[in-house]
Amino acid sequence: MSSSASLSVRLRRSVLSVPAINPRALAKVPDLDCDVVIFDLEDSVAPEKKGEARENLRRFFGEVSPLHDKECVIRINGHDTGFADDDMAAVIACRPDAVLLPKVDGPQDVERVADLLAEADAPEGLRIWAMTETPLGVLNAAAIARMGRTDGARLDCLVVGLNDLRKATAVPAGSGRTFLVPWLMQVVLAARAFGLDVIDSVGNDFSDIAAFEAECRQGRSMGFDGKMLIHPAQIGPANRYFGPSTEEIAEAQAIAEAFAAPAAAELNVVNSNGQMIERLHLDQAERLLAKAKIIQDRKGNSA
């Protein structure tokens, strides 16, 4: 497996949002089996509690050793809310893996925060995630995703937010996701065009695991890397549906072995189990095997 494949892969199957205002929820984070934690300063925190939530995060990041098995992301409030400056000060103090921007309408929203991080001399590894949850955000998805190819922009991942998008477009929540699929696919296409990961929206009814699993199956089929979650009960299904299956791992191993054969050294197309396989399939196989190895190593460390 190429070293570049293993270095560029991160697990983002399960992306759990945790209210920064809730110390009990924060205390449980190290023991959860999610791939990513979003420490939320936005929707789940009342305006009069924003300062307290920031202090909770400063204390959490100061007291808890780095969560090496989890990616840590802080979701800030929008720049037009009056809370963003203080939120960014907390981000710079806590130094998470990424900052999540809500309601991104266009590339200027990403550029604004990238400039703030550069001015604060934040580590280059502190990335930016962008929520696509407004009509403008969906229409501008490609322009936003293009920032991932811009030096200094730090953009790493798009996250779809359907609750706000439904509200803005008057698509009723009870209608399922049928009428939202074109917009979801537009965001996936934009992310893939510029090499970004992309995360599916939350499932609001965490008590209905069957419905949640159906959304996970749909999201995986649509090409999403993982799903944003609102409850720990959703972690297991998300990890299962967005993780590589036994069959996918076996197929990826067969592709890697076919290209590893001496006879394939100068070839761009080889025969694997009766199928013609191109080198682009090798790249995909290496990424999948890298994810499978991370999952296996994590299981071994927790045993």
pLDDT tens column, 253-277 = 989 988 888 877 777 788 777 778 8
Note whether 117 and 124 are within 8 A (CB).
no
Helices 181-193/209-222 angle, 10° precision: 50
Predicted pLDDT of residue 5: 39
Domain assignment present for residue 26? The answer is yes
Count Cβ atoms below 10 Å from residue 298 Cβ, excluding itself: 16
Q: Which residue range forms the structural domain that includes residue 250?
A: 246-302
Distance CA 190, CA 221 (A): 16
Q: Is the pTM of this model over 0.85?
A: yes
Determine, yes or no, domain membership for 129: yes
Q: Same domain, yes or no, for 174 and 271? A: no
Residues making up the annotated binding site for Mg(2+) are 133, 164
Q: Name the stretches of the chain with pLDDT < 70.
A: 1-7, 65, 302-303
Task: Look up the CATH number of the domain holding residue 237.
Answer: 3.20.20.60
Q: Are residues 286 and 160 in the same domain?
A: no
Q: Are residues 143 and 232 in the same domain?
A: yes
* Full DSSP string of 248-275: HHHHHHHHHHHHHSGGGTT-SEEEETTE
Residue whose tokens read 């996970």: 216
Instruction: Let me know whether 95 and 156 are in one domain.
Output: yes
CA separation for the pair 99, 79 (Å, rounded) = 13
Query: Could you tell me which of 171, 189, 188 has the C-alpha nearest to residue 180?
Result: 171
Has residue 172 been placed in a domain? yes
Annotated binding site for substrate: 75, 133
Q: How far, in Å, CA of 9 to CA of 47, rounded?
A: 37
Final residue in a domain of this structure, among 190, 224, 242: 242
2 within some domain = no
Q: Are residues 110 and 148 in the same domain?
A: yes
Last residue of a domain, one of 242, 260, 294: 242
Paired with 271 in beta bridges are 276
Q: What is the pLDDT of residue 6?
A: 37
In a domain, 59, yes or no: yes
Residue 3 lies in a domain: no
Q: Say if residue 97 is in the same domain as residue 186.
A: yes
First to last CA, the chain: 26
237 and 255 co-located in one domain: no
Residue 173 domain flag: yes
Q: Which residues are annotated as a binding site?
A: 75, 133, 164
Determine, yes or no, domain membership for 41: yes
At residue 65, the pLDDT reads 67
Same domain, 162 and 235: yes
Which residue among 203, 223, 242 closes a domain? 242
Counted domains in the chain: 2
Give me the pLDDT at residue 7, please.
Answer: 41
Are residue 120 and residue 250 in the same domain, yes or no? no
The string over 70-85, giving b where at least 16 C-beta atoms fall within 10 Å of a residue's C-beta and e elsewhere, is bbbbbbbbbbeeebbe
User: Do residue 119 and residue 253 come from a single domain?
Assistant: no
Residues 164 and 279 in one domain: no
Output the pLDDT for position 100.
Answer: 98
Q: pLDDT tens for residues 66-118?
A: 787 899 999 999 999 999 999 999 999 999 999 999 999 999 999 999 999 99
- What pLDDT score was predicted for residue 303? 57
Q: Are residues 75 and 17 in the same domain?
A: yes
